[in-house]
Amino acid sequence: MNLKRNTGISALRFTLVFLLILWFPLGASAAPVNPPEPAPSISPATTEAPSPAPSATEAPSATEAPPATEAPSPAPSAEPAAGPPQDQLSEAVSGMAKIQVLLEYFYMEMGEYPSTLLEMEEMFNTRIPEHYEKITIPLDPATKKVFRYEVRNRGGGYLISLPDASRYGIGQLKLSNISWGWMKRMAGEERKDSLLANCKSTMNGLATTIEVCAYDRRGKYPTSLSLLIPLYMNSIPRCPLCHKEYVYRFKGNKYEIFCPAPELHGLKSLKYISNEGLKYEK
């Protein structure tokens, strides 16, 4: 029984091996691999030698288009210069701006703009100590003249312009005053207080000059302010508000100095008495 079983198993194994041999031929136990194809041979006729680079002197062939060359850009046409160089115009604008700064500062100090630029220059320079540089009004660089200055609105505005705008090749260049709005009222109050303080200071200075004169004359006061000129002063001082000369009265060993227009300062009287000093009444 066992022999038959073994014989049957052997026959089955033989049959399977036979079928495998039929399915996979000898030498084809793996997937067939195709041999590599030979590289195509290059015949001498088909090979082309690299063409030599054309020499610099060799002209291009008729069939070959010459390389495209860019046309030179046309030179800018020379326009005639209109007026002085541009830097002079910039200098003129800078000079006008400096004048505007001085005018606005003057306005905040005095409450109105000056009648002339010379008046503003003198006012500033009288306040500057001797060892400091004085203020000078810039000139127009093209004409070397003073810029045009026009007061408007009764001292409440101005206009600055070039003396000759054609020198710069332009129509005109103007600067006007700054609109301060509510600060204008504050400037008016500042001006009122500043002028009153200036008036008092001038009267005190005049009294000091009179005392110096009396000392030199052995205690005798001058009978008139004109006696102080030119030894003690160049001219009789004036009120900074009304621009009138101060009134001087001499009585015995006393004198009095009066402001010519105290009402403009909002006062009934403003005077200096030799024995008492400065007195005012509201």
Residue range 227-257, pLDDT digits in tens: 999 999 999 999 988 889 999 999 888 999 9
Question: How far out from the chain centre does Cα 82 lie?
Answer: 25
* Nearest partner of 83 among 158, 173, 159, judged by Cα: 173
Residue 243: per-residue pLDDT: 87
Which two three-digit tokens encode residue 188? 């008016």
Residue 193: per-residue pLDDT: 87
Q: What is the pLDDT of residues 98-138, one digit of tens each?
A: 999 999 998 877 778 999 999 999 988 988 888 889 999 99
Q: How far is CA 48 from CA 39, 51, 60, in A?
A: 19, 8, 21
CB 243 within 8 A of CB 228: no
Give the chain's length.
282
pLDDT for residue 9 is more than 60? no
In the chain, what percentage of residues exceed pLDDT 70? Answer: 70
Helix H or strand E encompassing 26: none
Confidence of residue 72 (pLDDT cuts 50, 70, 90): low
The CATH architecture of the domain made up of 86-179 is 2-Layer Sandwich (3.30)
